[in-house]
Chain A
Amino acid sequence: MAETTTEQDPRLETFSREQLHDFLRQMLLFRRFEEKAEESYAIGKIGGFCHLHIGQEAVALGFIGPLRDDDYVISAYREHTQALAKGLEPGPVMAELYGRRSGVSGGKGGSMHLFDRDLRFMGGHGIVGAQTALATGMGWAIHYRGGDQVCVCFMGDAAVNQGAFHESLNMAAIWKLPVIFVVENNEYGMGTAFSRVSAVPVLEKGEGYGIPTHSVDGQDILETWRFTEELVAKVREGAGPQYVEARTYRFKGHSMSDPVSGTYRSKEEVKERTKEQDPITLLRNRLLEAELLTQDELEEMDERVRAQVDEAADFADDAPFPPEEDLYRDVYAETNEHGRLFLDGRDR
């Protein structure tokens, strides 16, 4: 066991037992989903790039769970679990990874481009840091319409060296836009340690714009959840943009085609960190120790989650590939009335 505290965490009492179980269940779902994706990738059912979020589940859940349905969430390409946290169904998300028509983006986006307009899951973006500008636009739209929604924008630590990030923080600050920029600091941008590509820590990268900055333990769901609840309430009341560093760790390689450890981080480091800082193990142990969860309940929960993930994989397996006519569909939203809009494959 990672933790051997004898005193019960006082924060546990501030959550209901159902809520705590739900935290565990959802994080287990995220974990099993990603493990299934890993398995499916290995046997060729998923292609391209596939970036797993294993180890970072408490960030996704903690920063999305407390939101309202009409709040916006946008992310980069390590976004499977964030999509699930925003309410996307595991089946259609897996089907998207499998490149099927029933996928959340119709099989056109893949692992890096999950979208759901109705659930306000705004993607799934593949260019590091680019989503920060889009998030600023969503914050602008909320402000423009006089709403009290917020936009939560996830990025990896590497994004804070991009120009788009700095331009976005500045604009969000001058117009006091309701955007919460969440940097998932997992310490590595692909295979490069953050400390090698920045002279200052992640938190300081958000300074200089007149935006409050915060740093939270991203492995502790009780912390990320409660922190988000309080922060979102302030932002709804007009506190303006916020910059949050969620300290976390990537348990797997950058993508499925990259090594977990090697030249850039040691096997020992990964072993130690995954043992000490697994957000699921941390919560599970706390609940077991506090007798808020029994071993039987845990096993049953895991079984249910595994069944749910198997069902998602079956759904994806059974889903049809996009028909060939989909190749030329949805390039433009408008029906073209005049002229030739694009070379749509018709013989001329």
Chain B
Amino acid sequence: MPQITYREALNQALAEEMERDESVFLMGEEVAEYDGAYKVSKGLLDRFGDRRVVDSPISELGFAGLGVGAAMTGLRPVIEFMTFNFSILALDQVINSAAKLYYMSGGQFSIPMVFRGPTGAALQLSAQHSQACETWYVHSPGIKLVTPGTPADAKGLLKAAIRDDDPVAFMEGELLYNLKGEVPDPDDGDFVIPLGVADVKREGSHVSIITHGKMVHVALQAANQLAKDGVEAEVVDLRSLRPLDVEAILRSVHKTNRAVYLEEGWPYAGIGAQIVATIQEEAFDYLDAPVLRVTQADVPMPYAKNLEKLAKPDAKRVVAACNRVLYRD
């Protein structure tokens, strides 16, 4: 299987879906002439022209709404946010329009569109450019949320998201774009991963580390460290948070009886809160310890290198949390 980067995988997915369906177009800041702020859309302007690969003004609310309006007529917009940090400006259109139109029109207007871009922190970008935006999106019924952590997942899930008839927020990782991984060759057929199917990235029987997105790699690091100590951690990558593969979570918890949720975002009403609630409601009797969460510190992201490091979740903290639920500390 060819090794390509996460960035190339996304680019392939976009190109293949645009080739496949004339109603798909890409719009956002710097996506066309500049080839994308993170070069995800490299070459697409040359290939598809400026009707289908469109540079927008810096108007997140406006072009998000434009995408929703176009989707109401049956087009399939892919709206790129340079980062999801900037999409906070667009949340009115995401939540009040995209997520609600199908319901409040009594099922008349589906919104087949994708909002995509990186979420979470990179390095020393400080408070306004380093936040995990998952919770703000996943909170609202009517929208789907996908968080691929590997090149293969990025490709297969983006293709599924573009084909989906509902609005999908597709959150990438700024620090993942250069990550290489095996992705099936396009010549070997259409590679699509359905939404709502978690992937066990590492099997284990002592404790479940459940996570999503970029944190998959932190979870794997932690699992490797635990393994040196004789602890076999299972890493469950949810891949999408709506739909949520509850069965996969429960399966893992039934097996290990202990779980830690790892996420990049804040703990307060975060993704982990939902997962913990789900586990205690549906697998309480299987638990041998309270479910713990490893998250960003409950503060805006600081700039100073040492403070930033303290604020971010890391493998060391995951190992500590696993040891606590194993009563090994």
Contacts and interface: CB of A to CB of B under 8 A. Distances in A.
A337 B164 contact: no
Interface residues of A, number: 53
A245 B115 CA distance: 34
A137 B190 CA distance: 30
B186 interface: no
B110 interface: yes
B93 A130 contact: yes
A32 B110 CA distance: 33
A275 to B, nearest CB: 38
B46 interface: no
Interface residues of B, number: 57
Contacts, number: 179
Interface in A108-137: 108-109, 113, 115-117, 122-127, 130, 132-137
Contact of A337 (B101, B103, B110, B194): B194
Contacts of A163: 61-62
B31 to A, nearest CB: 15
A341 interface: yes
A144 B25 contact: yes
A12 interface: no
A107 interface: yes
A11 interface: no
Interface in A304-348: 329-334, 336-342, 348
Nearest to A142: B73
Interface string A253-268: 0000000000000000
Given A107-B106, A108-B103, A137-B71, A339 B197 contact: yes
Contact of A164 (B65, B75, B166): B65
Given A341-B242, A342-B141, A137 B67 contact: yes
A134 B73 CA distance: 10
Contacts of A288: none
Interface of B: 25, 51, 56-57, 59, 61-75, 77, 92-93, 96-97, 101-112, 141-142, 144, 164-166, 194-198, 240, 242-247, 281-282
Interface of A: 72, 74, 103-109, 113, 115-117, 122-127, 130, 132-142, 144, 163-164, 167-168, 170-171, 174, 329-334, 336-342, 348
12 contacts: A109-B106, A125-B97, A134-B65, A137-B68, A141-B73, A164-B61, A334-B164, A336-B243, A338-B195, A339-B247, A340-B246, A342-B141
- The 5 nearest A-B residue pairs measured at CB: A137-B69, A133-B65, A339-B196, A106-B106, A167-B62
